[in-house]
Structure 1
Amino acid sequence: MSVWRPARCLFSRSTTLPKPSASTSASHQPRPFHSSCPRPARRRPHYPSIKASDLQLLNQAASESYPKYNTDETALLRKRYTPAQIAAIKAAEAAIDPRDLLTQGQQRTDPWRLPYEDDLADVDPVTDHADKLPPSAIVGKKDFRLANAVERDEAMSRIANENLAKMYPDGVPDGQLSRKDQEKLEENMEAAFTQAAMDPRAVYTGSNPRALEALADPRHSVILPDLPRIENRMARQTRRLADEEEEDPRQKRLLKYLDWDKDKLRSIRVKTLIVHGVTNQTRMGKIRSLYYLTIAGNGNGLLGVGEGKSVEPEEGRKQSVMAAIRNLRPVPRYENRTIYGDLEKKVAATKVQLFARPPGFGLRVQHLIFEMARAAGLQDLAARTPRSRNKMNVIKATWEALCSQKLPDEIARARGKKLVDVRKVYYGGSVH
């Protein structure tokens, strides 16, 4: 007999226990044995169960908050909307359950909400664009003429009175006014006369009053006014104009040194190629700082290299950028695409070899030299670094090689020969 028999087999051989009587308390009932683990309690749902009584209350609240159209309201809708529009309104209301609006809907509090609550059937003169009207909507003649001085003054007075009537529906206040009310009244009067002076009805006149009113009607205007922007304190604080930006004193000195303007300075392409940390051991301990090496170029024959180091990262980068722009030097380019012949330059243990290539060859160089060639405006170039490939030395050697090229006319003057002969010798008999 195996000793690994399950426990339930042993308990099955035991004598059957008598069933507990009704008088036996629950604490003294025998505990049943099960072969499986007990099931955990059922998880409660995330949403509450709605009872039938509560559902009736919800229906009652929904019908009170969002009542259906009665007969009088339906008759008013028929006067304003077409039968197709009324059918669309009924279909939309049938698709939306008022109970969902009551339980899930809420009033918007975001800054982009509409400043009024209505059915969006009325056109707001400030927020909404007015509907365009064709010229046929103007009844009568549509001829205008320039108004003389007398007609202009009369029209301005009439238009200013209309504007003041809109500002003060109950009449312009008179009598003894406080200082604040007097200043407000003067400002409103000035605004009313300014609007009257800019109104086209004060400039033109004609025999048809409807045509004159159409001059100031936005529905007949070709250019509608822009929608108002959101003006609040946060928007005013975050909006920064170009003239409000703080000017860097280093940039100011650089512009004065180079005799440039800001537009020319923005045309310079700047890129940081090397960033690494350095440590200076002093008696106060180790002082860590960041080193930056940046190149600058205009893509049209100017190239500069600058270095910067500071404890603050942004300060060191600005130093390297300003130094690179200040160190801009011209790079001679053959046909504005490649170098004059082959170049070689050695800085410390690093040697850089640059080779001129025919049109369409491209920049087949390592990434550091590629960025420098693109900043200088070179398009066809090949390069090798046979010895040490220290990044800083590669950049410096390439910069020195590109800026210290010997032009064919300089070689011709030094040898006392003609430029054509020098070019043949310089390019090995092949001019491309």
Structure 2
Amino acid sequence: MSVCRPARCLFSKAPASIAKPSPPSRSFHASAARPVRKRKPHYASIKAEDLKLLNQAAETHFPKYDTSETTLLGKRYTPSQLAAIKAAESAIDARDIVTQGQQRTDPFRLPYEDDMSEMDPVTDHAPKLSAADIPGPITFRRANAAERDAAIAQIASENMAKMWPDGVPEGKLGPKEADHLEETIEAAMFQATLDPRSAFYSKNPAVMEAMADPRHSAVLPDLPRLENRMARQARRMANEEQEDPRQKRLLQYMGWNKRKLSQIRVKTLVVHGVTNQTRMGKIRSMYYLTIAGNQDGLLGVGEGKSVEPEEGRKQSIMAAIRNMKPVPRYENRTIYGSLEKKVGATKVQLFSRPPGFGLRVQHLIFEIARAAGLHDLSAKTPRSRNKMNVIKATWEALTSQKLPDEIARGRGKKLVDVRKVYYGGSVH
């Protein structure tokens, strides 16, 4: 082993005055060295001749405030707010907005295009006003019959003028135009009846305008937005409506809201009276059997019995919704193959059918299939046709189907749906 090689390696690290500098060592990454790299600017450089065009575009699209606009802004904003607006706009160069401005694509953008310069009555909330914004004495009283009729006539005329800006059509009208005019008059009169100006009267015109102004409805309880007989009746009925504790417990159990619960299709299929013999005598009650489904693969059956008919029906509805189970559906329209289920002396046979076949079954199975979201099905009930057993057998058959992949997994086979592969899914 030579001693010269370690010596060369040692002398290569020495300063230039002692030894000859060694060639640069090879880098182990593909990117260039930092001194060699050229950093790209974030924005393209602008030439001097293009700067004039940018200045012209900036002055055209984003002009400075003139005296009239400053006066209007001073009426709406305080001097400190106006100074803040001017300072913020002076800090932003209009040319940067022209060169770098672009439409937002983030998920937090507004669902509509708006420059925020005007108040949109649909998407923006109206500013709330207090009683101090109403000039003059804030005194009002309940209107008498004559004042009420005069106010309704005036408000109805104003509404008609808004609906017919060119004037009410005169002369002989066609059937459609006459119906449209009649509907317009009814709508104008109904709005005038609900308007608070028809229920209250004030000598101060500003108070009358504030009654119809929605900006006063939330902060000024002395001037209610709606305060007449019809509104009081609707408010009283809404307050007296009590929430069913059974429904409240069901929503907590299912984790749903009232809107999702209202989408469930519910139908009572069996209703009959039953008698319970006790030492106190015969006690008659009503029996209900109800089905529930979301028409998209969920189905449930529930029973209820009570002396009060409405109570028993509610029990069956809540039990049906609580007992809902998923129903496997082939192509979201029919069952997988043929099914057979026996409950008591009743036997139900269900058969899948091709697209467009429809539901050719008896009325009880028809309602069950429609609640579960099945469209192509046929059925037989060769033995007893007891209604309760037919419904229970159909429900158990639909919810306990054996899927093809489960059968293939149990047999240790691979599943190939030949109906879709070789026939394009056009056959059942």
Q: TM-score, normalised by structure 2?
A: 0.49
**Highest Rg: 1 or 2?**
1
Q: TM-score, normalised by structure 1?
A: 0.48
